[in-house]
Structure 1
Amino acid sequence: MRVLTGPIGDARPLGTVSSEELAVAAGVNSATLRKDLSFLGSYGIRGVGYDVATLVERLSCTLGLTEHRAVALIGLGNLGQALAGYGGFASRGFRIAALIDADPRRVGTTVRGLRVRHIDEFEAVVDECRITIAVLAVPAIAAQRVCDRVVACGVTSILNFAPAVVSVPPHVDVRKVDLAAELQILSFHESRKAALAGARR
C-alpha cells in the first residue's frame, strides 16, 4: 500500500492501493479485478489507485459486514470449543452470542464468558439474542435433527461443520465446511507434485 499526500493545503495522508497490488493479493489479473470492483460502483483513479478506506467501506457494505450479526454456536465438543475461542469472528462483524449443547455435563457451564444453554431453549435464545446465523458443530448423527430445529426457530443461515450433509428448505442458506475433504484436496496436490517431481528425474 502506498501513502500519498492529499490535495494541496490538505496535510492528511491518503492511503491508496493499486489494482496491480490488489490483483496479486487476490490471485487474479488486474483487468478482472478492476471490472469486478466497477460493479460495486468503486472506481479507482488512473495512476493513483483505490482509496483504501472507501474501498473497504464499499466492500463491507456489499458483503453485509457493516451489521454486527449474532451467531449461535451449537455443539461444544472439541471443535465447538475451538470455534468458541476463535477471535477472527469479531474482527469480521460476527459475535458469538449463544452457546448451545444437549449434553447435561456441558449445559450450565461457562465457556468464554457465556453460559452454555440447552438445545431445548434454542427458540428462546434466538429471540433473546437476536440470532441470525447458526453454526453447527454437532456429531453427524445429530446434524439433521439439530438443523431442523434451527430452521423451525426462524434461523435461515447455517454454517455446517458437522460431517454430514443436511437438507433445508429453499429459503435457508447452508455453507458446509468439510475439513476432511479439504485435506483430501491437499493430499491430491501433494500426490501430483510428487508425480511431477518423479517425472523430472
Structure 2
Amino acid sequence: MTLRSHAGSSARAGGASRTAAKLARSIPEATVARLAVYLRILGELAEQGADTVSSEELAAATGVNSAKLRKDLSYVGSYGIRGVGYEVVPLHHEIERTLGLDQKQAVALIGVGNLGHALAGYGGFGGRGFPVTAMFDVDPDIVGIRINGILVDHVRDISAVCAARGVTIGMIATPGSAAQAVCDQLVDAGVECILNFAPVVLQVPDRVEVRKVDLAVELQILAFHVARRRVAGTDGSEPAKGATNGSVVLPR
C-alpha cells in the first residue's frame, strides 16, 4: 500500500512537472522578457510591505498596458482577484517558478577584461539568483587571482571546472576570435544556456540557447532614432507613435 501510494504521488508530481514544462515552452519570448520586469517590480513592492497591487498599478510601473499585463500573467496561471488585484508575494513566487528561478543556477564568466571585470563586480546577479561561481581567462596576470572571492581559472579548465561546479549558464565576454572556442568548451561541459557579449554569432547545437548582447548594435539603433528626430525637427513632422519600444536592460 505504501509503495503504491508513493508511486501515485510520484506520478502526480511528474505529471505536474511535465504540465509546467509544457506551459513554459508555450510562453512567447516577448512575454518572458516582460515577466522578468514584473518580477523586479513585485520584488520592490514586497520590500515596501505591499500586500496587493492592481493590474493598472503594475502595468503603469512596468510600462505596458493593463490588458497586455493580464494576458502575460495568465500564462503563469494568475488572473487576480476582482476588486483587489494581485497578491504581491504569491504572484512573485509564481513568476519565479515560471522563469525557473526556483531552481539553483550557477554562472561562469569567460573573459575577465574590461567588460568582464564590470560583469564580475555587478552584485545584482547573485541577488537575483545568478551567482557567478567560476571565472576564466588566458592572461597570466589575471589567472590565479581572486575577484570577489572567485579564483580565476585558465580557459583550458572550462570543461572540468564547470562540470564540477554545476554551471548552468555561461557568460562569454571574450574577444570575438576566442568566443567560439570557449563556447564549445561550455557546451562540452553540459552548459546549455549562454549569454554572449562577444561580437560574433556562435554556432551551437539545437539544445543550446544563446542570447546575444551587442552594445554597438544597440547604439547604432539609437543613433538612427537620434537622426530621425533631427529630420523630424527640420521638416516639422513627428516620429510614428510607439516606434521606439525596443530596449536593452543593462546592469545598474
- TM-score normalised to structure 1 length: 0.89
Other-structure match for 2:197: 161
Other-structure match for 1:6: none
- The one-letter code matched in structure 2 to 1:63 is L
- The one-letter code matched in structure 1 to 2:95 is L
Structural RMSD (CA): 1.7
User: Is 1:176 aligned to 2:212, yes or no?
Assistant: yes
Other-structure match for 1:77: 113
| CA shift digits 1:84-136 (9 cap, x unpaired) | 00111112110000011122221111111111101111122113211111100
- Gap runs ≥5 in structure 2: 1-40, 42-48, 238-252
Q: How does 1:20-169 map to 2 (within 5 A)?
A: 20-169=56-205
Percent identity over the alignment is 56
Query: Which of these residues, 214, 222, 225, is aligned with residue 186 of structure 1?
Result: 222
Other-structure match for 2:33: none
Cα pair 1:68 1:95 within 8 Å, conserved: no
- The one-letter code matched in structure 1 to 2:152 is V
* More moved, 145-154 vs 51-60: 145-154
Cα pair 1:70 1:132 within 8 Å, conserved: yes
Deviation at 1:26, TM superposition (A): 2.9
- The one-letter code matched in structure 2 to 1:70 is A
Structure (1 or 2) with the greater strand fraction: 1
Deviation at 1:14, TM superposition (A): 6.1
Corresponding residue SS for 2:168:
strand
Corresponding residue SS for 2:191:
coil
Deviation at 1:77, TM superposition (A): 0.5
CA distance in 2, matches of 1:106, 1:28: 44
| CA shift digits 1:114-173 (9 cap, x unpaired) | 111011111221132111111000001111111111111211111000111111010111
Corresponding residue SS for 1:94:
coil
Corresponding residue SS for 2:134:
strand
- The one-letter code matched in structure 2 to 1:178 is D
Moved >6 Å (runs of 4+): none
Structure (1 or 2) with the greater helix fraction: 2
- Gap runs ≥5 in structure 1: 2-12
